[in-house]
Structure 1
Amino acid sequence: MLRPLADQEIRKPAGRTIMDYLNISVFSVHDPSDTSFCYDSINGSCQRILRTLDVKIFMIFTMAVTVLVTVTGNLLVILSIAHFKQLHTPTNHLILSLAMCDLLLGIFVMPPSAVRSVHGCWYFADVTCKLHTGMDIMLSTASIFHLMCVSAERFCAVCSPLTYRSRVRSATVLCMVSASWIVSAVFAYTIVFSELNLKGAEDFYNSQIRCMGGCHVFFSRGSAVVTSMVSFFIPGLIMFGIYSRIYFVARGQARSIDFLTNQLRMASHRPGEFRYRTRKGTMTLAVVVGVFLICWTPFFLCNILDPFIDFSIPPALIDALVWFGYLNSALNPFIYAFLYPWFRKALHIIISGAVFNRNSCRIQLYS
């Protein structure tokens, strides 16, 4: 996630003072006499967002379920692919690394973000805020880079099936995975620790945004455009173009493939089965990419638009869009379970305890 904003982040629309706007939130209590700060004994402390007990319970329950589903679901995906030897394919290795992104997001990013969203304050150290923000940006960027690599791998599998095995090897996948993690980490932590996100708007940030007890990620106009394009829009357009090309190529080759499959059916069922698995896998991964884009597009549109409209988008809306993006990490295992028969079979084996049987790693999940 590129821009985790706390509800107490300060905005300055026309006609309101900064302190007035601090009390505005769709989940906050609007009585101006109820004023509380993150640190009452410290001057310059951020103002805490006051919420009713019912709202707090609802938020805590919703976020806890999201974290639990994210961690449990992606852990099952990782165990399935890592344990069963039949699943050790280039596509599944990329899915394994993508599931690791989602798992780390659920363990290290979502819980602190939930505390900040509920209380409107950051109660951890400043360096922890930077580490948390850097990991947040890194994991969201790595996720979309992984999906871009998956798109490229599917393009080779569908559009160049005869040269697929020579092009996509274990070393190729390892390079893709390593590049996705390293580039994302360097990009994210460079922005956070060098404060390039403030370039051109340092005075505004120091006078209007910075306060004790907050964990703000503020982007000036230039940095918002650059980071949003690199972390989301450019990879998203590349993936859209790749899958569009895959669709038209597969459509054009469908008749010839069906004819070849019918000719070989008397001798072997494997060509037809291979074609089915390839198309099924491509469709499933296209759904994964589509869900990712749906979940994160609203946030990144707001992120890139907000600096150009004087930061007038309500913080509560941005915080809600952040969690809508987080929801993507919880949905991926359900997509696999719904569309991948081998994953459903692997889940049954793991949950039933048969995974502890001798040579269970050699069980054939599909023929």
Structure 2
Amino acid sequence: MNIGLSGSSESATLCYDTLNNSCARTVYPLPFRLSLYFLFTTIVILTVSGNMLVTFVLLFSQNPLLAATNHLILSLSVAGFLIGGFVMPHSMVRSIETCWYFGQTFCEIHTTVDVVLCNASMWHLTFISVDRYIAIFYPLHYRNLMTQTTGVAMISFSWGLGLVFGFAIVISDPEVKIRDEYHKFCVGGCFSLHAREIGVEYSIIFYFIPVCIIITAYGRIFFLAQRHSKVTHTYNKGPTISASLSAKGLKTTKTLAIVVGTFLFCWTPFFLCNIIDPIIGHSINTLLYESLMWVAYLNAMFSPLIYAFFYSWFRKTAKVLLSKLFMRM
């Protein structure tokens, strides 16, 4: 999922001055590079620390409620932690320096892990939406439907699909995977596996199927909350109770808007470019591709926090854990 920032108007040199087959390097002004390092490092720290906090809270929480949801969020936070701790740092160096200095073998490993983790995260979000749908529309059957076995199956499917698809596109080594034919054999490049026509099939499996499920699930929950709020406001004679229920409906609506809005904001621009680019002859600037990929990475920072921090018991548990940590320090 990584695309170099080549093709800029800034001064160009080589990734390796002593190699004739070195890839070209774009050298950005020092203040700009330092600003990017500060920005990306902040994103990495927030992603790692946020997902780590969610992981510890869920591991040490004794709350028996929402067990299936907690397991899904826990697994999602592990994927987010790995994205922040393993994928982002190397992508940061490659994006800013416009060269890959970690070797071709690690390039393939890094790209594979990138695809696996992002794909697994997407399907975790999908199954969380399914879990919430069942909890809202079938509350009496929720415990029977969302058993520990069901939760394990959802988590296993999310990771399994990510692994199968990630390794499949790397092992197949498709001829269309490199946007710039020149960089196929130069040293210092590590480029996207979904930069040409393969991106259309990848986008359908990786994005559009999950997003249809998520929008359908949360859309129905959204309209149910709206309808419940209107009915309560119309027929409830107790103004205090009516206002309270309307407030709950409004809070649910806002929560769903944040969940779906963040998801669409992070991933939609990149996949739209990924599909449009082959149609217009791969003329989309690589700098735009790289920027949108980092916006997609932000979902690893936002998603577990959005789901977790809307539970009051999570906030209380986090405060207890953090207070104990600081007291020991």
TM-score bracket for this pair, using the shorter chain length:
0.7 to 0.9
Aligned to 2:210: 235
Q: Is 1:223 aligned with 2:198? A: yes
Q: 2:275 aligns with which of 298, 304, 308?
A: 304
Distance 1:136 1:118, change over 3 A: same
Aligned to 1:171: 149
CA distance in 1, matches of 2:182, 2:162: 31
The Cα shift of 1:113 comes to 0.2
CA distance in 1, matches of 2:18, 2:230: 74
Q: Report the identity percentage.
A: 39
AA in 1 matched with 2:41: A
Aligned to 1:84: 61
TM-score (norm 2): 0.86
CA distance in 1, matches of 2:76, 2:183: 38
Aligned to 2:126: 148
Q: 2:261 aligns with which of 279, 283, 290?
A: 290
Aligned to 2:240: none
Distance 1:93 1:152, change over 3 A: same
Q: Structure 1: where are the runs of 5+ without partners?
A: 9-21, 263-271, 358-367
Q: Structure 2: where are the runs of 5+ without partners?
A: 238-243
Is the 2:263–2:299 contact (alpha carbons within 8 Å) kept by the matching residues of 1? Answer: yes
The Cα shift of 1:307 comes to 2.1
Counterpart secondary structure, 1:322 = helix
Distance 1:119 1:87, change over 3 A: farther
Q: Is 1:62 aligned with 2:39? A: yes
The Cα shift of 1:335 comes to 2.9
CA distance in 1, matches of 2:293, 2:268: 10
The Cα shift of 1:221 comes to 4.7
Alignment root-mean-square deviation, CA: 3.2
Q: 1:101 aligns with which of 79, 85, 90?
A: 79
Q: Is 1:181 aligned with 2:156? A: no
Distance 1:210 1:217, change over 3 A: farther
Distance 1:207 1:117, change over 3 A: closer
Counterpart secondary structure, 1:85 = coil
The Cα shift of 1:206 comes to 4.3
AA in 2 matched with 1:120: T
Give the alignment of 1:1-367 within 5 angstroms. 3-8=1-6, 22=7, 24-25=8-9, 29-30=10-11, 35-86=12-63, 89-196=67-174, 198-199=175-176, 206-207=181-182, 209-219=184-194, 221-252=196-227, 284=255, 287-332=258-303, 334-336=305-307, 339-353=310-324
The Cα shift of 1:106 comes to 0.4
The Cα shift of 1:80 comes to 0.3
Distance 1:283 1:149, change over 3 A: farther
Is the 2:25–2:98 contact (alpha carbons within 8 Å) kept by the matching residues of 1? Answer: yes
Which has more radius of gyration? Answer: 1
